[in-house]
Chains A and B, each alone.
Chain A
Amino acid sequence: MKDKDRIELSDMSRRDGTPLAHVENQDLMPLPAPLDDPAGERAWTPLTDQAKNRYECLLDDTCAVSVPKPATKAEEDELVRKFLSGLDKLFTKENNWTFLQPLVLSMEHCAKCQTCSDACHIFEASGRNELYRPTYRSEIMRRLYFKCVKHGGMISAWQHGDIDVNWPMVARLIELAYRCNLCRRCAQTCPIGADNGLVAHELRKVFSQEMGIAPKEIHDTGSMLQLKVGSSTGMSAEVVKDNIQFIDEETSERTGITVETPWDVEGADVLLIHNAGEILAWPENPGAFALILNAAGISWTLSSELAGYDSINYGLWYDDAQFARVAIKHAEAAKKLKVGRIVLGECGHAHKALSVIADRVLTGDLNIPRESSMTLLRDIVMSGRLKLDPTRNDFPVTLHDPCNMVRLMGVVEPQREVVRAICPKFREMTPHGVDNYCCGGGSGFAIMSGHNFSDWRFHVAGRKKLEQILNAFGDCLDPAIPKYLCAPCSNCKGQFRDMLAYYDLWEKNTILYGGLAELIVNAMTDVTPGFIEWEWH
């Protein structure tokens, strides 16, 4: 990007009604083979005139939140007033004891050294577009903090910088809060410990908790639907039981082993909570879990309580109240069944939400032990309770590290112990473990596809991970060799499903994605060979 086109912080308040950034394919970070020709890359779908006329699309080439344009200046002023009111509340302990301390620390101690920029997959993949630099958003927030919350005057503006507060700035900031995956890779590299991911998270909270603004996929048809019917998939308890029965039958037929999923077993040792998306999109995963847990003799159950059968907790990404409500529902389901522990299925954000973040929400008899399915599966595999034949998994396998499970929770090795034990052609991505890159679907993006947001999600947010996947399979891109991308997380799988299809990598290079439990069942000698079906789904 030429200097004359460089985006400045003051551009956020621009009133010319035009987006700040436009990204062309040739601007983007180059990809390895077979996607190494930018000219051959898929073109972006432009935003429609209808979308531009109806919603605030002032940031870049896409629109994630669809904020309706205010009809009058008075409406604009009211929205700005609400934003400033929310910003004030964000820095009070009564409203935001949940994150006040880390937020203030990030506001007051950034040295603006830009060390974090090189860690951000979105910034790098965009061709280092200034708008996507992790500190761009944070610096706006920081200036707002000193000007509007601390009420700094001229000396403060001289010391910390100034920003014009108007509706275009707020409208752009709403969108910009949804150009970060909240993977916190940037925070990991900050020499001082400032956290740009947290800043994006807290901005989202202001918009949701004060202004009632959030992407419909994570609020209306996400956390609200979950609290209403029990699952963001829309499945009620009756429907989910029907679906699981069907999955049991399918799994029994495919494996030759009768599988029956227990429901609402009081006193069971384990309450397993899947991301309900698995049940609809990847039924082989809950089927594999049922088969493994039964074969290993685990005392386990599913719950049909409200939200007890869907581990998702989208509030983690944008709203503390919604987050706490869903976490409490999960704990209440466990408490009602008097289980020994909750085990979280293959869902990264559910892991972090219930195990880590909710640890300071759940008190008294709701504070029930929570455990990762990665450790349970590792223990089962390593215990020798299952007869496993690694040669059944004799195809190249690589492992994706879901940020929420790995960098943000420290569950790194259990899943590796499993794949090392049962996948002879396992290869790591570079980098991996706590240094991993986000799949590009984190923080809700995997379920957000309004307007042309998917184009941004695959071209920019997921690009670095795509590079990693292609490099990991660089020695076996031949379509005759089936390859397995193991992603023990539903949201990551959603991103991979869509992104691999977008780039046609199943058709052209036979790269399939799936979970960890499927690999285990595929290696079980008691099971009819071929549990993993090499077909696109």
Chain B
Amino acid sequence: MTTLLYAMLCLSAVVGLVATVARAIGYARAPLHLRWELYPVPHEAADRAAHGGSYFEQSNWWNRPAHFNLRGELTAMAAEMLFLKALREFNLRLWWRSFPFHFGLYLLIATAVVVLAAAVATVFTPLVMAGALGGMIHLLYRLTGIAGLALTLVGAAGLLHRRLTDKDLKTYTTPGDLFNLGLFMVALGLLAAGYALRPVGAPSVLGIVVGLVTWNTAIQVPWLLTAGLLLSAWLAAYIPFTHMSHFVGKYFTYHAVRWDDRVNRRGGSIERTLAEYLTFRPTWAAPHVTADGVRTWADVVTTNPTKGPKR
């Protein structure tokens, strides 16, 4: 059973990671689109970003040096990622449920990272982990783990309750949406119960991860905790295949769409990319488009459909 648990933990981590990276690569490789930004754009100069202005507010903007307000962008990103700023601003009622859920997940991810690091340290530098620093690390992952589980469970319950009771959401809620939230509650509920109810003498969380790192299958993990770990592992592998992977999508919707105000300069990289796209051969069928799968975009957009022989 322990071997199966270790194998599933490793497999889910690999599947989850590979699927997340594959999704990100898929979006990153999509063609450069026409500009479609939305203001405010936080990397604008601070005085303009404050009212949502752009470099278009300056006369002769094309001759001015490009200004990128990194601090503004990082501040906006941090507020959005950590505190779900947009949701808080525009949907406070949901934020009270969504924020604990997401922040709890961040804490759980942090817990996993810290415990894994602690396990590696336990194996290779046991003296460090036995000292004061080790004590602090033990305290840290216990706190983040317990807080993460509690917040995520409360948030998931709140989100599920709203999905089931809010008539505005009912029309748009699929069985899959309910399943996903239910899965979070069951998986993390089992994990919490397994941790809280583990018998005296059962291996600690760190002990299990040290066992994983050293592949020590002699460790006996209590069945309830095993169930919680297995289901949580499956959840981690499942998320990237659903719209719950919006942590990936959100990077692109913000950076590649809403905030992408890069200027196409003559002879620049954007222009070179566009030159390639103009060789694509569209197949749109409406006669006025004059596309036939042979003519390129360049041919199409330089054709006046009201002049010359009808195609």
Chain A residues in contact with chain B, CB under 8 A?
3, 6-9, 82, 85-86, 89, 93-95, 97-102, 104-106, 108-115, 117-119, 130, 135-136, 139, 158-161, 184, 187-195, 198, 208-212, 219, 224, 227-228, 319, 321-322, 324-325, 328, 355-357, 359-365, 367, 369, 371-372, 374-376, 378-379, 406-414, 433-434
Contacts and interface: CB of A to CB of B under 8 A. Distances in A.
B301 A97 contact: no
A410 B301 contact: no
Contact of A159 (B174, B270, B305, B306): B174
Nearest to B26: A104
B22 to A, nearest CB: 13
Given A101-B33, A187-B38, A114 B288 contact: no
A227 B300 CA distance: 14
B252 interface: yes
B126 interface: no
Given A104-B27, A406-B39, A115 B94 contact: yes
Contact of B249 (A7, A105, A362, A369): A105
B90 to A, nearest CB: 4
Interface string B258-271: 10010111100011
A359 B260 CA distance: 12
Given A359-B264, A363-B271, A224 B252 contact: no
Given A105-B253, A191-B80, A357-B36, 9 more contacts: A3-B167, A102-B33, A108-B249, A113-B87, A115-B91, A139-B171, A161-B172, A212-B285, A324-B301
Given A109-B250, A363-B274, A375-B58, A101 B257 contact: yes
Nearest to B172: A112
A95 B54 contact: no
Which 3 pairs, one residue from A and one from B, show the smallest C-beta to C-beta distance? A410-B54, A193-B253, A434-B52
Nearest to A161: B174
B51 A413 contact: yes
B90 A98 contact: no
B214 interface: no
Interface stretch (B6-14, B136-144, B275-283): B275-283
Interface stretch (B40-48, B70-78, B202-210, B225-233): B40-48
Given A97-B33, A328-B302, A321 B59 contact: no
Interface of B: 27, 30-41, 44, 48, 51-62, 80, 84, 86-87, 89-91, 94, 98, 167-169, 171-177, 242-243, 245-246, 249-250, 252-254, 256-258, 261, 263-266, 270-271, 274-275, 277-278, 280-291, 297, 300-307
Given A211-B286, A321-B289, A324-B301, A411 B53 contact: yes
Contacts of B61: 369, 371
Report which residue of A115, A118, A130 has the largest number of chain B beta carbons within 10 angstroms of its beta carbon.
A115
B285 A210 contact: yes
A109 B91 contact: no
B286 A360 contact: no
A6 B172 CA distance: 13
A111 B306 CA distance: 44
B284 to A, nearest CB: 4
Given A209-B284, A209-B286, A227-B306, A112 B173 contact: yes
Contact of B176 (A160, A187, A328): A160
Interface of chain A, helix or strand or loop or mixed? helix
A413 B57 CA distance: 7
A100 B32 CA distance: 9
A208 B305 CA distance: 14
A193 B282 contact: no
A271 to B, nearest CB: 15
Report which residue of B40, B171, B304, B305 has the largest number of chain A beta carbons within 10 angstroms of its beta carbon.
B171
B134 to A, nearest CB: 39
Contacts of A85: 285
A321 B298 CA distance: 10
A94 B171 contact: no
Contacts of B62: 369
A89 B286 CA distance: 12
Contacts of A365: 266
Given A115-B94, A212-B286, A94 B258 contact: no
Nearest to A374: B57
A59 to B, nearest CB: 17
Contacts of B284: 86, 89, 95, 209-210, 321
Contacts of A102: 33, 36, 253, 256-257
A400 to B, nearest CB: 16
A75 B56 CA distance: 49
Nearest to A306: B304
B34 A209 contact: no
Given A105-B249, A361-B34, A412 B52 contact: yes
Contact of B277 (A97, A191, A374, A408): A97
Given A193-B250, A321-B300, A355-B56, A112 B271 contact: no
A306 B278 CA distance: 23
B56 A191 contact: no
A413 B306 contact: no
B174 A184 contact: no
A385 to B, nearest CB: 14
A99 B260 CA distance: 13
25 contacts: A8-B171, A93-B30, A93-B280, A101-B30, A102-B33, A102-B253, A102-B257, A110-B243, A114-B168, A130-B171, A159-B242, A160-B174, A188-B38, A189-B90, A189-B91, A198-B36, A211-B285, A212-B285, A227-B307, A325-B305, A356-B37, A360-B34, A361-B274, A374-B57, A375-B59
